[in-house]
Structure 1
Amino acid sequence: MSTYVVTGAASGIGLVTTEILTGRGHRVLGVDLAGSDIDADLSTAAGRASMVEDVRERTDGRIDAIIACAGLSSPTVATVRVNYYGAIATLEGLRPLLAGSPAPRAVAVASMASLFPPDEELLSLLLDGTEDDAVARAAELAADERAGQIYGTSKRGLALWVRRQAATPEWAGAGIPLNAVAPGIIETPMVTDLIATDEAKAALLQTVPMPLNGIAKPEVVGNLIAWLTGEENTHLCGQVVFVDGGSDAVLRGASTW
Structure 2
Amino acid sequence: MRTYAISGAASGIGRAAKELLEADGHRVIGIDLRDADVIADLSGAQGRASMVRDVTAISGGRLDAVLAVAGLASNSAATARVNYFGMLATLEGLRPLLEQSDAPRAVAVASMAVMFPHDAELAAAFEAGDEAAAVARAEVLAKEEGQAIYATSKRTIARWVRRAAPSADWAGKGIALNAVAPGVIATPMMADSLASAENRRQLESMVPMPLGGIAKAEDVAELLRFLSSVENGHMCGQVVFIDGGADAVMRGDTIFPLT
TM more than 0.5: yes
Deviation at residue 129 of structure 1 after TM alignment: 4.5
Q: Distance in 2 between matches of 1:178 and 1:256?
A: 22
Q: Distance in 2 between matches of 1:71 and 1:107?
A: 14
SS in 2 for 1:126: helix
Query: Paired residue for 2:94?
Result: 94
Q: Distance in 1 between matches of 2:116 and 2:64?
A: 33
Q: Distance in 2 between matches of 1:148 and 1:158?
A: 16
Paired residue type of 1:54: D
SS in 2 for 1:107: strand
Query: Paired residue for 1:134?
Result: 134
Q: Which moved more, 1:121-130 or 1:176-185?
A: 121-130
Q: Which moved more, 1:8-17 or 1:197-206?
A: 197-206
1:181 paired to 2:175: no
Q: Distance in 2 between matches of 1:180 and 1:35?
A: 25
SS in 1 for 2:255: coil
Paired residue type of 2:158: A
Compute the RMSD of aligned alpha carbons. Answer: 1.0
Report if the CA contact (8 A) 2:7-2:67 is conserved: yes
Q: 1:114 to 1:129 in 2, by over 3 A?
A: same
Q: Return 5+ residue gaps in structure 1 as ranges.
A: none
Q: Distance in 2 between matches of 1:54 and 1:46?
A: 12
Query: Paired residue for 2:201?
Result: 202
Q: Which moved more, 1:165-174 or 1:196-205?
A: 196-205
Paired residue type of 1:177: A
Question: Any residues of structure 2 matched to 1:31-180 within 5 Å, and which?
Answer: 31-145=31-145, 147-180=146-179
SS in 1 for 2:163: helix
Paired residue type of 1:237: C
Deviation at residue 144 of structure 1 after TM alignment: 2.5
Q: Return 5+ residue gaps in structure 2 as ranges.
A: none
SS in 2 for 1:28: strand
Q: Distance in 1 between matches of 2:12 and 2:42?
A: 17
Q: How high is the sequence identity, in percent, across the aligned residues?
A: 58
Runs of 4+ in 1 over 6 A off after TM superposition: none
Deviation at residue 148 of structure 1 after TM alignment: 2.2
Q: Distance in 1 between matches of 2:235 and 2:167?
A: 14
Deviation at residue 68 of structure 1 after TM alignment: 0.3
SS in 1 for 2:193: helix
Deviation at residue 231 of structure 1 after TM alignment: 0.2
Q: Which moved more, 1:127-136 or 1:100-109?
A: 127-136
Q: Distance in 2 between matches of 1:148 and 1:81?
A: 15
Query: Paired residue for 2:18?
Result: 18
Query: Paired residue for 1:222?
Result: 221
Paired residue type of 1:94: L
SS in 2 for 1:194: coil
SS in 2 for 1:178: strand
Paired residue type of 1:165: A
Deviation at residue 40 of structure 1 after TM alignment: 0.1
Q: Distance in 2 between matches of 1:227 and 1:184?
A: 18
CA offsets, 1:183-235, max 9 Å, x none?
00001011111112222211110001101110001111000000000000111
Q: Distance in 1 between matches of 2:152 and 2:9?
A: 23
Q: Distance in 2 between matches of 1:129 and 1:178?
A: 20
Q: Distance in 1 between matches of 2:199 and 2:219?
A: 22
Q: Distance in 2 between matches of 1:167 and 1:148?
A: 30
